[in-house]
Structure 1
Amino acid sequence: MNFRRLPGILYNHRNTFLIFSAVTLLLTCILLHWGIICTDFSPWRYVKQVCNEHQNGNAIGNLCKALCTSGDINSLTCQTFHNGKESVFIAEWHETKLVFKKVKDISKSNPLYWIDTNTQTKHYPSENEFKVMIRYTVLTKFNISISNSNLIRLSRLKPSYQEKDIVKRRNEMMNAWALLQDHEYLCSTLFIDYDLFPQLIGTCGPYFAVEYVEPIQYSSLFSLNEDKEEWSKQIKLSLLVLKLIEELENTFIEPFHLCDIKLQHFGLTKEKNRLKFIDLDMVYPRSVISRIISETDSCTTDDQCDFFDCRARCNTKTRKCENRVANNNLQIVCEKIFLGWKNPHKIIVPGLLMSQHTPSSLAAVLRQCANPASETTKPREPTSEEVQSRLTAILSEMDSEIDNEMLL
């Protein structure tokens, strides 16, 4: 490179310029790799790859035709912060917004087939063996037994169609097996009839698509200067959060724990009358998350028994984590979302319900909700139903009062 062609100031600081350029390039590559930034070229590249696999007969699913042949799925845009997924992008299908997510390649870590070391022949499971594998996967990940009809639905990627061609069926099984190893896909599929998570639309190869639900966006920077209308919206939103938390507690055979709770992980439906939880990678039944926590090798402090927001206690005598998750969803919601970020004595960043309009009665209940046992360390006790009822009653009354005031 001829540095003398550079403008004078750049030539005089050429070494600094080169270092800055290299650091910028490296940082950009890291941000792209982590999914913090993205470009709209990426989704088209992903689609081209999966459509090539579909053309070769390797990628199968009910959305492949719309994605690769008819062009019904279009308007692809990249999505940042995709939480461990290799690729995530948004698309439109007949004016319906979809989110496509790619599952990890498990062909080496957990292959469907086994290879005869003598003949190098691939041996695939029979249909019955495949169903046994699916049953075990569901039982391990969600501690539930599924019906035969649901088992058939999970084993196929084209609704109401049974593939007879053995080669195509093996490819379909390969696709289905990779998808079923993904916690988010399996959760969406198993609970498709519940209105708690984004609706699963379909699949194509390693990609699955769910309905797009707008993540909740809220900036606490303006909480001290917000007007009554904005405060009313935050109260209504908080009531919707409480409703969803209650449903997760009571809808299933056992409560479901959200082990990664952030406000942007809640999404508001088109009708604006309910929320769905949109990040399912850390959603577990109580028995499963308790088992995961108890499998920690050893512990000397309670913090070593935490699985993100799902917290447990360390038995210092046995140096093992206790076989149960200690806190519950409401405790975390009150601590992280309603109250906000805080140090042991002071709130640093106000949460959804901390405002100039917050009455002392509400603040007191929120503190009790976030730290039921008044622990000096990280709270671990679950919030009681009695506190939940009081919180809901206070917010409902405030919501009615503000609505009446705004009508006057």
Structure 2
Amino acid sequence: MLTGFKRKFRVIIQRVVLLGSICGLLIYLYSYVDLEFCYKIMSQNSLTFMCKKYKNNEYSGTLCEELCLQRDFKNFKCPHNEMKTIIFTAHKNGDNYAVKLAKDIDDDLRWKNSKNELVFPKIEDFHRIVKLHITLTYNVSLDDSMIGALVNQEIDKKYPEQMWSFWRLYKDNNYMLGKLYDEESVFPTVLSSCGPYYATEHLQILMADQSFMQYIFFDWQRRLTFALDIMEYIFRLEDMKPEPLKMCEMNINLFGLTADKRLKYQNAEFVMVESQLDKKLANGKQCKQNSDCNWHYCMGKCDEELSVCTGVQQNSNFQIYCEQILKGGGLFPGLLATSKTPKSLMALLHNCIDPSKKGHFYARPYAPGTEIVLRLYNELKRLYKEFPKQKGN
């Protein structure tokens, strides 16, 4: 009986090892095919398409000249992550750039006249349209000279169809937040554009391949370093003017460093100013429960009597940070998901994730109050400072 049990156990182990080997091979092949597809098909096709549009005067911009005429860029590669946003990366004069493509849009600036010809607005009208869009979407007021510089810099009046691709850029959250908050250094700096394509500085991602195995071999000091760096980044978002920026997606493998070691977030697609996010969540949509009113990680509220979404954001950047970055879940444990995390720190983390009974902001029951946030920050800093002493002991 014991011999039979050993035989069965040995067979099970062999099958597990075989299955693991097959899964590893499939993952490797998928990664290889994915990168090869990106490089040979997506990147090359994008370059060919871009340069064709530029030659036909449909696209304009300094990036067109750099990629299609001067050919200053070298060492084209596929991105290690965020292939949905970044088309390819390349080097120029020793610097690493990421070339991105603005999202497709439905609203059209063009209309057809009685002769069935496409008509574009005058450049002055386009100024007003862009200015109104920026004011309504980002609560940022730009004077006419700034709007003129933003709009006129690369649009040729002889080819009004170029407006369409620039309107696509202005409707792209990644592009606009990079432009509007350039001095605050929170998103990759936009360097140049070609039609709906644009180049930004490329970030050195903190954790390029978020995986369970990586967390196993991820040392405690690095966890604390990243936790503090990201928390300080969120403090900066909360202090933005004219109002805070809210992140409704937050993934550790999208935080990265610039060449001069400044921390930025690679994808601003799900970032909004506070007032606009509150309007989006309280849009009157039909609902049965609170989760029906959520937008990604940002929590909404369902009115029990009216069964519509009416409440402002119920959580905050810090609650999302605590739950998604520090705690994590499933195959992707957070930075504090380790046996080395003290119980006192875990208690603070739990209060940050669910502050509804212990210190939250008025009308936002899942937004941890200032006291909870500062206690968490100070505890992380204390542990970071004490780590060399503990290691020495």
- TM-score strictly above 0.5: yes
Change in Cα spacing, 1:181 to 1:191, as seen in structure 2 (3 Å) is: same
- Distance in 2 (alpha carbons) for counterparts of 1:185 and 1:225: 36
Contact 2:285 2:293 in 1 (8 A): no
Question: Alignment partner of 2:132: what SS?
Answer: helix
Please give the per-residue CA displacement for 1:204-234, whole angstroms capped at 9, x wherever unaligned. 12201111012221544465665xxx21111
Q: RMSD between aligned alpha carbons?
A: 2.7
- Distance in 1 (alpha carbons) for counterparts of 2:83 and 2:76: 19
Aligned with residue 386 of structure 2, among 379, 401, 404? 401
Contact 1:134 1:151 in 2 (8 A): yes
User: How far apart are residue 100 of structure 1 and its match?
Assistant: 0.8
What residue number does 1:62 align with? 62
Q: 1:164-175 maps to which residues of 2 (within 5 A)?
A: 166-168=157-159, 170-175=160-165
User: How far apart are residue 349 of structure 1 and its match?
Assistant: 5.2
Letter matched to residue 293 of structure 1: L
Q: 1:24-103 maps to which residues of 2 (within 5 A)?
A: 38-41=37-40, 42-79=42-79, 82=82, 84-85=84-85, 88-103=87-102
Change in Cα spacing, 1:144 to 1:59, as seen in structure 2 (3 Å) is: same
Question: Alignment partner of 2:186: what SS?
Answer: coil
What residue number does 2:13 align with? none
Change in Cα spacing, 1:196 to 1:349, as seen in structure 2 (3 Å) is: closer
- Distance in 2 (alpha carbons) for counterparts of 1:264 and 1:276: 11
What TM-score comes out, normalization by structure 1 length?
Answer: 0.80
Q: 1:206-285 maps to which residues of 2 (within 5 A)?
A: 206-217=196-207, 218-221=210-213, 223=215, 230-272=219-261, 274-285=262-273
What residue number does 1:204 align with? 194
Q: 1:16-31 maps to which residues of 2 (within 5 A)?
A: none
Question: Alignment partner of 2:246: what SS?
Answer: strand
What residue number does 1:180 align with? 170
Contact 2:120 2:161 in 1 (8 A): no
Question: Alignment partner of 1:54: what SS?
Answer: helix
Aligned with residue 351 of structure 1, among 322, 334, 347? 334
What residue number does 1:15 align with? none
Task: Give % identity.
Answer: 25
> Within the alignment, does 1:145 sit opposite 2:141 as a pair?
yes
Letter matched to residue 111 of structure 1: D
User: How far apart are residue 322 of structure 1 and its match?
Assistant: 2.2
What residue number does 2:288 align with? 300
In the alignment, structure 1 segments of 5+ residues that lack a partner are 1-23, 343-347
Tell me which stretches of 4 or more aligned residues in structure 1 moved more than 4 Å: 222-226, 404-408
In the alignment, structure 2 segments of 5+ residues that lack a partner are 1-25, 359-363
Aligned with residue 112 of structure 1, among 83, 97, 109? 109
- Distance in 1 (alpha carbons) for counterparts of 2:204 and 2:68: 26
Change in Cα spacing, 1:57 to 1:145, as seen in structure 2 (3 Å) is: same
User: How far apart are residue 60 of structure 1 and its match?
Assistant: 0.4
What TM-score comes out, normalization by structure 2 length?
Answer: 0.83
Change in Cα spacing, 1:332 to 1:119, as seen in structure 2 (3 Å) is: same
Change in Cα spacing, 1:257 to 1:76, as seen in structure 2 (3 Å) is: same
- Distance in 2 (alpha carbons) for counterparts of 1:175 and 1:350: 41
- Distance in 1 (alpha carbons) for counterparts of 2:181 and 2:269: 14
Change in Cα spacing, 1:224 to 1:278, as seen in structure 2 (3 Å) is: closer
Please give the per-residue CA displacement for 1:74-101, whole angstroms capped at 9, x wherever unaligned. 221223654754x611111112111111
- Distance in 2 (alpha carbons) for counterparts of 1:67 and 1:79: 18
Change in Cα spacing, 1:222 to 1:276, as seen in structure 2 (3 Å) is: closer
